Structure 1
Amino acid sequence: MIEQVFSYSTEDNTAVEKIIMDENINYIHMIFNKGEGLPEHYSNSNVYMTVIKGVLSIQLDEQEVHEYVRGAILKIPYNTKMNVKNLHDDVLELIVIKAPAPDHFNK
């Protein structure tokens, strides 16, 4: 078999699943319930964030909080301050791709 097959959770339970973490990309599946999210941090690569379900509330650097719904794809540059939250009742589900993989920036 040439291909590798990966899977991710289809439940609505809070999760940060690191699906693919190799030298090329990081592929991460995230699920947050109301009031949950990530600690404020700086992006360690170029981040491509796809909203699969719910409403993403995100503050980047010093700008106001912006909200994005299912189908939105965000491209966030390397070294951007990020504050990712679910401020809504519906479950928030995201796919996050970091490319190149963060190790690229640590060389």
Structure 2
Amino acid sequence: MIEKVFKYSITDEKAVEKIIMDENINYIHMVFNKNQGLPEHFSNSNVYMTVIRGTLSIRLDDQGIHEYSKGEILQIPFDTKMNVNNLHDEVLELIVVKAPAPANYKG
């Protein structure tokens, strides 16, 4: 078999699953319920966030909270302060890709 198969959880419970963490990319599946999210942090590579379902409420650097819905993809540059949350009743599900993998980022 040439391909390698990965799986992520189909769930409504909080999850941060590191699906692929190799020298090329980090591929992370996240699920957050209302008032859940990530601790404030700085991006350690180029970050691409795909909203699979729900509404993402995100504050980047010093701008106000912006909201993004299912089907939208964000591109966030290296070293951007991020505050990621779900402020809505509907479950938020994201796919986050970091490319290149942070260990190989030469920013």
SS of the residue 2:105 aligns to:
helix
Residue matched to 2:43: 43
TM-score (norm 2): 0.98
Q: Which structure's residues are more often strand, by fraction?
A: 2
Residue matched to 2:86: 86
- Superposed CA RMSD in Å reads 1.2
- Quick check: 1:6 aligned with 2:6? yes
Give the aligned residue type for 2:79.
N
Residue matched to 1:76: 76
Residue matched to 1:18: 18
1-structure distance, mates of 2:22, 2:106: 14
SS of the residue 1:103 aligns to:
helix
Residue matched to 1:105: 105
**CA displacement at 1:104 relative to structure 2:** 1.2
2-structure distance, mates of 1:3, 1:69: 31
2-structure distance, mates of 1:94, 1:20: 15
Give the aligned residue type for 1:53.
R
Name segments (4+ residues, structure 1) moved above 3 Å.
none
Runs of 5+ unmatched residues, structure 1? none
TM-score (norm 1): 0.98
